[in-house]
Amino acid sequence: MTFIWTEMLWLLLLLPVLAGLYIFLLRRRKKMALRYANLSIVKQAVGARGRWRRHVPPALFLIAMTALILAVARPAAVMTLASSRATVILAMDTSGSMRAEDVEPTRIEAAQAAARQFIADQPGNVQIGIVSFASSAVLVQQPTIDREALYGAIDRFQLRHGTAVGSGVLMSLATIFPEERFESVSEFSGSSGQAARPPGYSSRSLDEPAAAADAPPHEPVEPGSYDNAVIILLTDGATTTGPDPIKAGQTAADYGVRVFTVGFGSPSGEIVNYAGRSMRAHLDADSLKNIAETTRGQYFEARTSDDLTDVYRSMSSQLITEKKLTEVSFIFAGVGALFALAAAGLSTLWFNRVF
């Protein structure tokens, strides 16, 4: 619990003053009562019940004043609320190693099934975009709330040579910020499969100053501070081509976008025959952990299809809700009002007056 207007807490010093004033009035009333000829008659008239009843409304009023002063100080607490994120980008590895059968039925089929379940679990107002990457990255589905279009995009995955994790990150960023300039990672592809670039898209190298590309340099923001979109990147291998994934992760961090990375498959790797060639898919967990840490995301590892489903379910719960520092003045104001009404009501009921 914290307070936004801490200086207003000085008003709490009024509470001892009010308590002292109440005690002063009680003693004054007691002295006035001694003027009666027979004090025992007064005590008998008041009774034991009356003696404790008369203290209840002032006590409730004091509690009400405490709550209202705290409300004025604007208390805030970390609360779990519905997420404000509007877009989730699923960046999925479609390299030839995803044909491996160490995950039943195959890695790619398990990844497709888990992605479909993840999409189904998201609230209807969350837009989801899909990027596939192998030797280059392709936007196979612009962010949309149309779940059937997303399922169709996943079903159209085609395996290709190479693994360019950096391209997957940068293409996801270009989807989130179409007006910004990122490294040319590939041609965009819409649902028709034809190459297309979104309005305002142009390319620049990560190592090239932005001014050289006729654009002002981007001012880095706090990593993880962008609340409107996240990237979920799944891969089963190490980068073999394309941009440096560590630099791509740093670019995502500079834009405040969190990247959740998923390492998929057995840690020992698997021999895969693809297009007449044999290859062993080795997971580069260190790079994925670095990307997640740099962007304030999280790294997950899934060795089976069930593991992958659990990972996506875990991420889904994190994306649907998030912890935020939220002002809770209304709670204290409501409590104060209730105690004030109770004090006034009991005083009227028992003594036919408000205090």
| pLDDT attached to residue 99 | 86
pLDDT: which is higher, 15 or 353: 15
**Assigned domain for 179 exists:** yes
- For 209-275, give the DSSP string: -GGGGTSPPP----TT---SEEEEEEESS---SSS-HHHHHHHHHHTT-EEEEEEES-TT-EEEEET
Alpha carbons 246 and 259: distance in angstroms, whole number: 12
pLDDT for 323:
64
Both 271 and 346 in one domain: the answer is no
pLDDT given at position 157: 94
* C-alpha pair distances (Å), 282 with each of 49, 239, 263, 279: 81, 10, 10, 9
Do 72 and 94 lie in one domain? The reply is: no
Q: How many domains does the chain have?
A: 2
**Is the confidence at residue 328, as pLDDT, over 60?**
yes
pLDDT of residue 204: 36
pLDDT in tens, 73-115: 999 987 665 555 578 999 999 998 888 887 888 899 999 999 9
Report pLDDT digits (tens) over 226-255. Answer: 988 999 999 988 888 889 999 999 999 999
Q: Are residues 135 and 216 in the same domain?
A: yes
Q: What is the pLDDT of residues 117-127, one digit of tens each?
A: 999 988 888 89
Helix (H), strand (E), coil (C) string for 188-219:
CECCCCCECCCCCCEECCCCCCHHHHCCCCCC
- Paired residues of 262 in beta bridges: 234, 300
- Alpha-carbon span 58 to 18, nearest angstrom: 10
Can you tell me which residue has the tokens 């609340």?
227
The Cα 206–Cα 220 span in angstroms is 14
Let me know: does 160 contact 134? Beta carbons within 8 Å.
yes
pLDDT over 50 at 322, yes or no? yes
Span of 4-8, 27-31, 198-202, 304-308 with lowest mean pLDDT: 198-202
- Tell me the pLDDT of the chain averaged across its residues: 80
Lowest mean pLDDT among 60-64, 90-94, 198-202, 316-320: 198-202
Domain that holds residue 116: 85-303
Let me know if residue 315 belongs to a domain: no
CA 301, CA 290: separation in Å to the nearest integer? 14
Report pLDDT for 202. Answer: 36
Judge if 46 and 124 occupy the same domain: no
Q: Are 226 and 256 in contact (CB under 8 A)?
A: yes
Place of tokens 């399922």: 151
Tokens 């390492």, residue located? 263
Position 123 scores a pLDDT of 83
In the predicted model, is pLDDT for residue 354 greater than 90? no
Using the predicted structure, report yes or no on whether residue 337 has a pLDDT greater than 50.
yes
Are residues 196 and 181 part of one domain? yes
Give the Cα separation of 206 and 232 in Å (integer).
21
Above 60 in pLDDT, residue 274? Answer: no
Q: Which residue has the higher pLDDT, 233 or 320?
A: 233
What pLDDT sits at residue 353?
Answer: 72
Residue 133's CATH number: 3.40.50.410
285 belongs to a structural domain: yes
At 13-57, the pLDDT tens digits run 988 988 888 888 877 776 666 555 555 555 555 555 556 787 888
Which of the four pLDDT bands, split at 50, 70 and 90, describes residue 192? very low
Q: Bridge partners of 93?
A: 133
Same domain, 119 and 43: no
Express each pLDDT in 133-178 by its tens digit: 999 999 999 999 999 999 999 999 999 988 999 999 999 999 999 8
Nearest to 298 by CA among 230, 242, 245, 248: 230
